[in-house]
Structure 1
Amino acid sequence: MTDKGNLKIQAIENGTVIDHIKAGQALNVLRILGIAADCRGTVSFVMNAPGAKGRKDVVKVEGRELNVEELNRISLIAPNATVNIIRDFVVLQKKKVVLPTYVEDVVRCINPNCISNSTEPIKSRFSVIRSEKGGVVLRCLYCEHVISENIAEHLV
């Protein structure tokens, strides 16, 4: 007999669990990771799950451990996320994502006149700042434009 109040996503043997993602951002995390329908491992996600600090999303990716670049991208849309590395069904390592001080070629500047949006062979560069509300603010290092909302919409 199954207790419907305790239904869970199946445990993964090896891979990564990203927890404490801001509610509604799981699909953006999957996009950042480049996970498509043809992915070989099992990918599970829960959206708007109850958590101790309100609603959250959770993503489980079987057979894959994230690299630093992927963690940096995730931190921009989920600065409070935790990443668990799973091996043999056991949490081997648990860590919080860390906001980088700057990102390069990760986000497109919202200023259409920015040099990073021209035909010049230049990569976008942003300084990364944590806002007073715990969110993320990006400031273009070329034109000083700020992105503080909907960062996922501007990911390269």
Structure 2
Amino acid sequence: MSNDHGDEPHELRVSKIRSGTVIDHVRGGQALNVLAILGIDGSEGEEVSIGMNVPSDRLARKDIVKVEGRELSQDEVDVLSLIAPDATINIVRDYEVVEKHRVERPDIVEGVLSCPNRNCITTGDEPVTSGFEVLEEAVRCSYCGTIVREEIASLIDTA
């Protein structure tokens, strides 16, 4: 099969899925963080295909994550946008893409990240839902003001 770049063959690196979500244009090396955000660790038997550091016209190198039988919630897409701001979400049904959109960074994410500040009210015994303001290259806790610039994926509340 040829592509628009001459006669170079185009190979399918990750198999098609029947129904579910394809997360494309993830920055290279972030696929495992995407799985963490989605709470996928293999224990539930989810079918997942991953392509890591594959060539991309837009990003030079990219990761691709395909999750069979699952369509992402808006909360999942919002958090995903923090570590994969260039990602494209494709919803697939019967092997056809029925929806395609780029992620958009929200102003605030609630209840999905844990504040790293052990003195923050959200990390204690009080039933307080975490909230983070989304900045250009970081997130800021809405309660204590702690700013996290890197390793946002490590804040994901998996409880």
Give TM-score scaled by structure 1 length: 0.86
Summarize the alignment of residues 38-77 of structure 1 with structure 2, pairs less than 5 Å apart: 38-52=43-57, 53-77=59-83
Does 2:144 correspond to 1:143?
yes
Summarize the alignment of residues 15-34 of structure 1 with structure 2, pairs less than 5 Å apart: 15-34=20-39
Gaps of 5+ in 2: 1-7
Q: Which amino acid aligns with 1:140?
A: C
Cα distance, 1:42 vs structure 2? 2.6
CA distance in 2, matches of 1:42, 1:105: 26
What is the aligned residue count?
A: 149
CA distance in 2, matches of 1:36, 1:145: 28
SS at match of 1:6: coil
Gaps of 5+ in 1: none
Corresponding residue for residue 5 of structure 2: none
SS at match of 1:139: strand
SS at match of 1:46: strand
Q: Which amino acid aligns with 1:48?
A: N
CA distance in 1, matches of 2:130, 2:46: 32
SS at match of 2:138: strand
Coordinate RMSD, CA, aligned: 2.0
Cα distance, 1:38 vs structure 2? 4.0
CA distance in 2, matches of 1:17, 1:29: 12
Deviation string 1:117-148 (CA, Å, 9 cap, x unpaired) is 2222212211112x2xxxx4111111111111
CA distance in 1, matches of 2:142, 2:96: 42
Corresponding residue for residue 14 of structure 2: 9
CA distance in 2, matches of 1:93, 1:120: 40
Runs of 4+ in structure 1 over 6 Å off: none
Corresponding residue for residue 89 of structure 2: 83
SS at match of 1:86: strand
